[in-house]
Amino acid sequence: MKKIIIALIALVLMAGASIGFYLAAKDHKDKTKQQAKEELAENVLFNFDPYSPTKIVFSKGSESYTAEKTDDVWTLSNNEFALDQDYCQLVCTYLSDLKAATNYGAVTDEKLAMYGLDAPDKIELTNPSGTHTICIGSESPTGEYYYVTVDGKKNVYAVDAKHGSVLKLDRLLLKDKMIVPYSLYDIKQITTYKDGKVLCDLTLDTDTQMWSLPKEYSDIELDQTAVTAALNNLVRLEAEEMLDEKLDDLSKYGFDKPYGDVVVKGKDGSEHHILISANEDDPTYCFVLIDDEQVELYYKDDLDIAQALPYNYIVRNYVSASSTNVNSFKFSYMGNTDTCEVDISNMKCKYNGKDVDFGPTENYVAFNNFFTALSVLKFTGTDVNAKPELKDPFMTAEYSFNDGKTMKIDLVKGEDTNYYVFRDGKYIGAYVDETSLTGRNSVSEFYIKFKKLAGI
């Protein structure tokens, strides 16, 4: 019995020791967790709604910029330049839940000097809860971090360099990088120049919301979709890189001999001037001078609008007549003068006094191809300065419509292979080339095929 009691006592002592060891280990683990938790909490630098700030002050030494938000738009307090809206919001978003990767202990004068925080960049961000301030010092030797201090926090911290770099004061980061400060619906006029002369001029009628070219082009239909697409591309353009400010020497970037010159006017009466020059080091890009002050870098292909002609914005297929609304036409071409009476709704046609049977599908298809080639003028260019005479037309088509109206189209040989277009005796400012008249899929080809099938 005594041996059993002694064994029990030994077991109790061993159990007590085990419990003691367990409790000690648990206590150490809990303390470690608590310490880690406190360290994590210490490294949480900010916590606020990213859309709540209404004021940001960016400063370094005597240089300072104050941005204020009204109706969700950030503006510079002195209106010196337009602010980059995305950048301002990016700063707010990044700081709103900023966490340090690590910290280097309590702030001391020695550490401030060591980490470049004795003369830091500073951001003071104000929202309804107060002002949050962060000071940004040097980049770490490894390039992984930037050293920072935060008001209300006792330590020096390290934040990720990729994000921390955008907190350093840079005037060019603050500046708006859009090529024009307009939306698609804010533009009233855009004019491009070449060698000091107007290349293309587009103006919006604010009542009808329709774009137009100068009155010389009034006989040519403007493609509203083409204009809208071009302007929509323009207002979305953002600089790839911001370069020099307040350029003194235009020749530095070739702006003394620009290949693009654009003036954009807003409905509010403002206007902005854009000069474009070639980048000889990399033709993929071009240099752009905005309002004679800021040099920026853009993709060259994105600025084709500077070289666009009125021709780029017109409806190139001009439908002079449709077989469904014509009751007769007279056609003079290749020494022949033909007449045709047609009633498409009843599938009737009399050509040069002979009935044409539209029963066979090929006859109708042949007529339709011929009439389409004749009536749809495919403009290949515009020249409103030309003064052609309506003399010895190469081709003439006279249409009588179901509503009693008439139209006469004449094509007069011009320079090279161009033929000037006259409508009712007036030159309209556009021309077609000979491919519309001769060769494959031309008036000539479909004219001959139709007459052959119809036995005319």
Tens of pLDDT, residue by residue over 87-113, are 999 999 999 999 999 999 999 999 999
* 3-class secondary structure, 382: strand
Query: What tokens appear for 197 in the block?
Result: 């002369």
Q: Can you give the three-state secondary structure of 101-117, one letter per residue?
A: CEEEEECCHHHHHHCCC
Identify which has the larger pLDDT, 327 or 37.
327
- The label of the residue with tokens 């503006």 reads 75
Number of helices (H), then strands (E), in the chain: 8, 27
Residues 333-338 have a mean pLDDT of 90
Residue 6 makes CB contacts below 8 A (sequence gap 6+) with: none
pLDDT score at 288: 98
State yes or no: pLDDT of 35 exceeds 80. no
pLDDT score at 21: 54
State yes or no: pLDDT of 127 exceeds 50. yes
Residues 42-56 have a mean pLDDT of 96
Tens of pLDDT, residue by residue over 410-429, are 999 998 899 999 999 999 99
What is the phi/psi pair of residue 224, to 5°? -60, -35
pLDDT score at 34: 46
pLDDT score at 224: 98
Residues 235-247 have a mean pLDDT of 96
Tell me the C-alpha distance between 384 and 390, whole Å: 15
State yes or no: pLDDT of 13 exceeds 60. no
Tell me the C-alpha distance between 289 and 133, whole Å: 36
The confidence band for 42, taking pLDDT boundaries of 50, 70 and 90, is confident
* 3-class secondary structure, 359: coil
Q: Are 244 and 295 in contact (CB under 8 A)?
A: yes
Average pLDDT taken over every residue of the chain:
92
Tens of pLDDT, residue by residue over 360-399, are 999 999 999 999 999 999 999 999 999 999 999 999 999 9
Q: What percent of the chain has pLDDT over 90?
A: 88
Give CB contacts under 8 A, 24+ apart, made by 208-217: 211/313, 213/310, 213/313, 213/314, 216/384, 216/429, 217/310, 217/314, 217/382, 217/384, 217/429
Which value, in Å, is the radius of gyration of the alpha carbons in the chain? 38
pLDDT score at 415: 85
| H or E, element range at 59 | strand 55-60
pTM > 0.95: yes or no = no
pLDDT score at 20: 54
Tens of pLDDT, residue by residue over 129-185, are 999 999 999 999 999 999 999 999 999 999 999 888 999 999 999 999 999 999 999
Tell me the sheet residues that pair with 127. Answer: 130
State yes or no: pLDDT of 18 exceeds 80. no
State yes or no: pLDDT of 11 exceeds 70. no
Amino acid at 182: Y
pLDDT score at 299: 98
